[in-house]
A and B are shown apart, each in its own frame.
Chain A
Amino acid sequence: MISAKDLTKRYARTTAVDQISFEVVKGQIVGFLGPNGAGKTTTMRMLTCFLPPSAGTAQVAGFDVLEQPLEVKKRIGYLPETPPIYPEMETAEYLKFVGKLKGLSGAKLQKRVDYVSERCAIGDVKKKLLGKLSKGYRQRVGLAQAIIHNPDVLILDEPTSGLDPKQINETRELIKDLAGEHTIILSTHILPEVEQTCEQVIIINKGKLVATDSVKNLQARARGAESVVVEVAGRAGTLDAAIVQHKLEQVAGVSRVLCKQQIDSRAVFEVESQKGRFVRGDLARTVVESGWDLNELRPSAMSLEEIFLQLTASEVSAQDEEPVLQEVQQ
């Protein structure tokens, strides 16, 4: 339904989106995941023909966003981050206006307005001014305008931002509900949202595609192996991290040992076990028997959150660690 190939958006000094390629199958809900400023909105704007890509192509329902923008726009419903509402209009009047813009008219328009009002539960505010509506209602009106012309593709930019928990749940349910009829792309920086609503995840960071996989696969990746954080301290005030790492790697069932941090005679390791192996006891014994102190030993569940952080925040954490080391040395 949607396919992007090497989609790129460059501004004067920065590259907001850098060669992103992905495919979305008809009827799927896809989560666009990334920290703020990752390029989610820019990508969505290119798919909706609001911004032309600097390079690369994108097709929606078989139409190219650059070559046939009008055809693409007919098949897309778009909810920007702030719902595009006119505060001086009444809800029903606004929906009619948007419906006309999208090419509806007459009895069909009226039918769609009634339908989306019911679907998005905004029937009771039909005669109210949009400017006087609460944030939750505005968001729902925004969703209603996005689906008014029954588009093939729905693009929702952070549909739950700024809502209270109850409204967030309602909105998510509504989006899930819509999935059967429309192909949906939604962007978010909230992980549980993706876990709850989406089938497929596209993770982007700093304009680059980091991972694209189904939620199930990512979660399986998370559950399969045990990951343990071990902090080891040397007794004599010195510690050779390389030796510790080597020792830990010798423990049966350990697949990978990573030295995450070393401060003076303390070192923090992250140990990953092979699938289905329980290694915490062996790790503790190895450390103590080798004559080191075991300061900390805790399981770190590989949640989607962690995968996400690992994938997106690698550079950030590297920058953060240096000042800490300097402070300790002083």
Chain B
Amino acid sequence: MRNAWIICRKELGSYFVSPVAYLLLTMFGLICGFFFWNELAYFVVESIQMQMRGQNFPMNINEQIIRPLLSNVAVIGLFFIPMITMRLFAEEKRTGTIELLATSPIRDLEVILGKWMAAVILYACLLLFTALNFTFLFKYGNPDWKPLLIGYLGLLLQAGALLAIGTFISSLTKNQIIAGAATFGVELLLWVCGWVSGYETATWAKVLAYMSVITHFDSFGRGVLDSKDAIYYVTLIFLGLFFTARSMESLRWRS
């Protein structure tokens, strides 16, 4: 574990020494801030309309701001995750530094875990940035904090799964652009494959729907911790890291 932490520190270093981390933080913050402002403005307009009509329909910050916003963040994350993972292995393979890691007294799994952990920590920083928005809600409103926490747990789990897939794809190529594009493509497929359940009820459609990363986020977004969804994400994380380990091994046998 000590070795994994060494690798993780090194990866975090290269994220935060280069402009990568700051660029991602800025863009992610801006986009999520825009969505927050959007939802909030809509909420304010709606509540004024409610008052004018004299209706007493209950307005709920959790249901009407936090939940849609968390779903948006889950989708926006899909666009940012390839940018985080694409360099992880591809760059080391291109510059030859992978030889240093592979000839050091450290296990492949420790390298993979370290890199994946660094990616998760960077993504957690991005999420923390969006949490700033919610502090306004707590200052001026009275939302329930527990569903919010579970929503963030869901976001982190979902990102962990997608980052593991990205790590795997990055270990397949020397080219960062290929790694990034392929990761993005796979993630988009994993998102949209759930849409078939809208018009099809056959078993294959159910399987496809079950595979979709975003549908599994729904319950987290509602503030419900469903073990089925948590297990789905954890399984994806294990699969992604497992395949990365296999890919590193095959690199040795082929290269």
A-side interface residues toward B, CB under 8 Å? 11, 45, 48-52, 70-71, 73-74, 76, 78, 80-82, 84-89, 93, 97-98, 100-103, 145
Given known contacts A52-B252, A70-B105, A100 and B6 CB-to-CB distance under 8 angstroms: yes
CA distance A101 to B3 in the complex (A): 7
State whether B96 touches A51 (Cβ < 8 A).
no
Interface hit among B10-18, B154-162, B230-238:
B10-18
With an 8 A cutoff between CB atoms, is B57 at the interface? no
Given known contacts A51-B252, A52-B252, A97-B6, A73 and B13 CB-to-CB distance under 8 angstroms: no
State whether B14 touches A88 (Cβ < 8 A).
yes
Interface of A is mostly: loop
Q: How far is the CB of A12 from chain B (nearest CB, A)?
A: 8
Set A87, A93, A101: member contacting B106, Cβ < 8 A:
A101
State whether B105 touches A102 (Cβ < 8 A).
yes
CA distance A17 to B154 in the complex (A): 51
With an 8 A cutoff between CB atoms, is B201 at the interface? no
CA distance A97 to B97 in the complex (A): 13
For residues 96 through 112 of chain B, which have their beta carbon under 8 Å from a beta carbon of chain A? Answer: 96-107
CA distance A41 to B107 in the complex (A): 22
CA distance A87 to B80 in the complex (A): 24
For residues 2 through 56 of chain B, which have their beta carbon under 8 Å from a beta carbon of chain A? Answer: 3, 6, 10, 13-14, 17-18
The residue on A at minimum CB distance from B110 is A101
Complex contacts, B102 vs chain A, CB 8 Å: 49-50
State whether B253 touches A52 (Cβ < 8 A).
yes
Please name the 7 residue pairs, one residue from A and one from B, whose CB atoms are nearest each other, closest first.
A84-B100, A73-B105, A101-B104, A84-B97, A74-B105, A48-B103, A80-B99
B-side interface residues toward A, CB under 8 Å? 3, 6, 10, 13-14, 17-18, 95-107, 252-255
CA distance A48 to B255 in the complex (A): 15
Set A78, A85, A88, A97: member contacting B103, Cβ < 8 A:
A78
28 contacts between A and B (CB under 8 A): A45-B99, A48-B103, A49-B103, A50-B102, A50-B103, A51-B252, A71-B105, A73-B104, A73-B106, A74-B105, A76-B103, A78-B100, A78-B103, A81-B96, A82-B96, A84-B95, A84-B96, A84-B97, A84-B98, A84-B99, A86-B10, A88-B14, A89-B13, A97-B10, A98-B104, A101-B104, A101-B105, A145-B100
The residue on A at minimum CB distance from B17 is A88
| Residue from B95, B103, B105, B253 whose CB has the most chain A CB atoms within 10 Å | B103
| Residue from A11, A76, A80 whose CB has the most chain B CB atoms within 10 Å | A80
Complex contacts, A71 vs chain B, CB 8 Å: 105
Q: How far is the CB of A71 from chain B (nearest CB, A)?
A: 8
Complex contacts, A78 vs chain B, CB 8 Å: 99-100, 103
The residue on B at minimum CB distance from A76 is B103
Set B6, B14, B252, B255: member contacting A86, Cβ < 8 A:
B14
Complex contacts, A93 vs chain B, CB 8 Å: 13
Complex contacts, B254 vs chain A, CB 8 Å: 11
Complex contacts, B10 vs chain A, CB 8 Å: 86, 97
Complex contacts, A48 vs chain B, CB 8 Å: 103
The residue on A at minimum CB distance from B102 is A50
CA distance A258 to B253 in the complex (A): 45
Given known contacts A51-B255, A97-B6, A85 and B97 CB-to-CB distance under 8 angstroms: yes
Extra pairs beyond A101-B101, A145-B100 (9, CB < 8 Å): A50-B103, A52-B253, A73-B106, A80-B96, A82-B95, A88-B14, A88-B18, A89-B14, A102-B104
| Residue from A11, A71, A88, A100 whose CB has the most chain B CB atoms within 10 Å | A100
The residue on B at minimum CB distance from A47 is B103
| Residue from B13, B96, B99, B101 whose CB has the most chain A CB atoms within 10 Å | B99
